[in-house]
Chains A and B, each alone.
Chain A
Amino acid sequence: MEIGLKNITFRYQEARNPVFTQLSARLSLKGFNAFFGLSGSGKSTLARLIAGLESPCSGSIEMARGASSSRGILYSWNGERLPGWQRIIDHLHRVTPEESYGLLDELTKQFGIEDLLLHRFSRLSMGQKNRVNLVRYLVQDSGLLIMDEVLANVDEPMRHHILACIKRTFPDRDIVYIAHSAAEVAAFAARVFILPQPGEEGISSIMEAEGLDLGEIQEIDQRTQELIRQKSMELLEKASSSTLLNPFAQGQTSRPAASIDGRDGL
């Protein structure tokens, strides 16, 4: 899915400073992508704007969906809950399209939630809640799935296993993964959209960098480990910059996301 951000300005009602000011970019979100930035950089806000859950103060967001799809955007975050009056299995069966029951079974196995299905959601641990919530989103037919820290409470090995499983099971699905772990983002994402630290004026451009687009990272060689380390350092460095007045000055491995009219972001 292609997303065009055109002169987006956004400020939360109670906030003094805007999150984005005249932000223009074209985000090519084919495959497994990531939004990366430090806390408060506006990753979730950008995701919610793209999903239509927030409206920009000014500017517009255009979507060019792939030929295959007129399907919508789904935004998932780690604070979500299932209705408390249903058992997990009842809820999952109710919200899963019939043709995806096989996929549901497979994912519940892979995500290690098979034994939890007869419980109520409120009885689960935070990590288990994250996994159950993500499963119900993955079995939906969506044009773009935004996963905003959906695995924040899941332990690292399981998180990596789940990410690899998602990439393996949905090779053609457009996904945006938002997380704070630079190494994770660097390893799994094909493309990383980096949001710098917003100054008083807010963010006006987004950087784009190539990720390593790996599958499994459980047993990787030393060279790959070193690659992940270097890539994550690069991402952190970009994300720590207070503003992107001259993004090219900070290295050649990343570039600004192309602006909506085809010119470079700045």
Chain B
Amino acid sequence: MRIFQFLAIYLVGLALLFGAKFAFQLSDYLVPNPLELILFARKEGRVFMEAAANTTMVAIAGHGCSLLLAAAVAFISRGANTIGQLVKTAAYNLQAYPVVALAPIVFIFLGDGLASRLLIAAIICYFPLLLNFLGVFATPVQEVELFFQQTGRLGPVLEVKIRVFENLQKIVTVVAGSSTLAMVGTIVAEFLAASNGIGYLIRKALYQNNLNAILTALFCIGLFSSGYFWTIEWAGERIRKELSG
């Protein structure tokens, strides 16, 4: 469904672009004609698909890392203690920095390889996840917790389990939403300095003023991105159904 939604939006975008081209008689140099785009896509499509797949793999790995890290940090700092407050404030402040401002520091220290792409992907989706997890982990579900609390059975693991279960839908929505951020982070990293992935191909296309390449890249990004988004939503729904019985 997500993929069909993307295809519909992509086609509408293309139609508008080519509509503008013919309406304002824009040159082929600025906006290539549709046939040229199709030929380019047939010739170079495989390279772009492979690059997008590579980017998606890095984004998934970065997304997974930030999920684990955000869950761990939120678990430790979920209480209304000083550490919890400090982490919350730091998370709010740090997410205000655009990733492009942080990326050069990462590239200076880690070079232009996989590690930099992974780290930037993780950074960009880490803070929204952390804020969401902090909110969920720190909000009591009195209706369920009271019994365990009064009978001395409410340990930290059970407490978090209850809160996660009660907010599963919200968590899945945020995790799915942050998957697109992970893609964005990886692409930005590749665009800035890496020598691999779809972001790198976009940078090359920009230097060559090649709109065919950019449109093909956008198609591949959208395809993989919506596929990943759909997979998370599907997995979340399966988990919810499985747990709810």
A interface residues (Cβ-Cβ under 8 A, vs B): 51, 53, 72, 74-77, 79-85, 87, 95, 120, 122, 133, 136-137, 140
Contact = CB atoms under 8 A, between A and B. Distances in A.
B245 A81 contact: no
Contacts of B81: none
Contacts of B165: 83-85
A80 B147 CA distance: 8
B244 A79 contact: no
Given A72-B150, A74-B150, A74-B151, A120 B144 contact: no
B162 interface: yes
A76 B243 CA distance: 26
Contacts of B146: 53, 75, 77, 80
Contact of A87 (B162, B166, B245): B245
A104 B147 CA distance: 17
A80 B143 CA distance: 4
A95 B153 contact: yes
Contact of B150 (A75, A84, A87): A75
14 contacts: A72-B150, A74-B150, A75-B146, A76-B147, A77-B146, A81-B143, A81-B144, A82-B144, A83-B144, A83-B161, A84-B244, A87-B245, A136-B147, A137-B147
Interface centre among B147, B151, B161, B243 (most CB of A within 10 A): B147
Contacts of A95: 147, 151, 153
Interface in B118-165: 143-144, 146-147, 150-151, 153, 161-162, 165
Contacts of B162: 83
Where chain B touches its partner, the secondary structure class is helix
B143 A140 contact: no
Interface of B: 143-144, 146-147, 150-151, 153, 161-162, 165-166, 243-245
A82 B165 CA distance: 12
A122 to B, nearest CB: 7
A120 B242 CA distance: 12
Interface centre among A74, A76, A77, A85 (most CB of B within 10 A): A85
A136 B150 CA distance: 12
A136 B146 CA distance: 12
A81 B147 CA distance: 9
A45 B215 CA distance: 64
Nearest to B244: A84
B80 to A, nearest CB: 15
B147 A120 contact: no
A208 to B, nearest CB: 26
A95 B158 CA distance: 13
A263 to B, nearest CB: 33
Contacts of B143: 79-81
A2 B167 CA distance: 40
Contacts of B166: 84
B166 to A, nearest CB: 8
Contacts of A74: 150-151
Nearest to A53: B146
A126 B245 CA distance: 19
Nearest to B149: A53
A53 B140 CA distance: 13
Contacts of A83: 144, 161-162, 165
A121 to B, nearest CB: 9
Nearest to A73: B150
A120 B244 contact: yes
Contact of A140 (B151, B161, B243): B151
B151 A84 contact: no
Contacts of A133: 147
Nearest to B166: A84
Contacts of B151: 74, 95, 140
Contacts of A79: 143
